[in-house]
A and B are shown apart, each in its own frame.
Chain A
Amino acid sequence: EADIYQTPRYLVIGTGKKITLECSQTMGHDKMYWYQQDPGMELHLIHYSYGVNSTEKGDLSSESTVSRIRTEHFPLTLESARPSHTSQYLCASSLDGRVYDGYTFGSGTRLTVV
């Protein structure tokens, strides 16, 4: 049973639209993360948060933004979607900042920008 929820699962949207990908977890985890997964499967960290009002950019430069106003909620926003944003987006959370217990991942949002 997934304890981290991503919506929508699939999204097809036109170029220039603003979109928000939702991610919520019920485990009380402080640490949350967004990954972009390319067709070759490799994972790229784009944003992370260590707690409320904390957000950082990851290794992969991204035009998206995130917010963390509540512990359980970590939405990702694209102000103006482009075809290059087409990808799978995975949200994850962890209890321990040193990840000794691993991550819990959501099921992902597959975004297609046409």
Chain B
Amino acid sequence: GDSVTQMEGPVTLSEEAFLTINCTYTATGYPSLFWYVQYPGEGLQLLLKATKADDKGSNKGFEATYRKETTSFHLEKGSVQVSDSAVYFCALGGSYIPTFGRGTSLIVHP
């Protein structure tokens, strides 16, 4: 079946550091890929998405590229801020029920 594996956290960075959160997937067919963000006490919000191979999703300085050859969708940001502290979920869609990764907590210190 479909599955998503993302790096375990917490990831702890200083403000303005470079961020990478790894995500790999296994799926049949041609799924869409998503990153969601969950701030403390809130539900998940869609951060970015990519619907086909080589697409790059971007939003709020975050980027991720759909790499079919490596089955990956790594999340990156060039300079993180304290306000980026949250939990990030990689997800795979394309069937009726999406598959979520286990979430990666990001902590950014001033």
On A, residues with C-beta under 8 Å from B are: 6, 31, 33, 40-43, 45, 48, 50, 58, 90-92, 97-108
Contact = CB atoms under 8 A, between A and B. Distances in A.
Interface of B: 32, 34, 36, 38, 41-46, 49, 51, 87, 89, 91, 93-98, 100, 102-103, 105
Contact of A42 (B43, B91, B94, B103): B103
B102 A45 contact: no
Contact of A107 (B43, B46, B100): B43
Residue of B45, B89, B98 most packed against chain A (CB within 10 A): B98
A105 B43 contact: yes
Contact of A99 (B32, B43, B103): B32
A103 B98 contact: yes
B96 A99 contact: yes
Contacts of A97: 96
A103 B46 contact: yes
Contacts of B91: 102
Contact of B105 (A41, A42, A43, A104): A41
Contact of A103 (B38, B44, B87): B44
Contact of A41 (B49, B95, B98, B103): B103
A6 B41 CA distance: 13
A104 B43 CA distance: 9
A100 B42 contact: no
Given A40-B102, A41-B87, A42-B103, A100 B96 contact: no
Contacts of A98: 32, 93-96
A41 B45 CA distance: 14
A5 to B, nearest CB: 11
Contacts of B105: 41
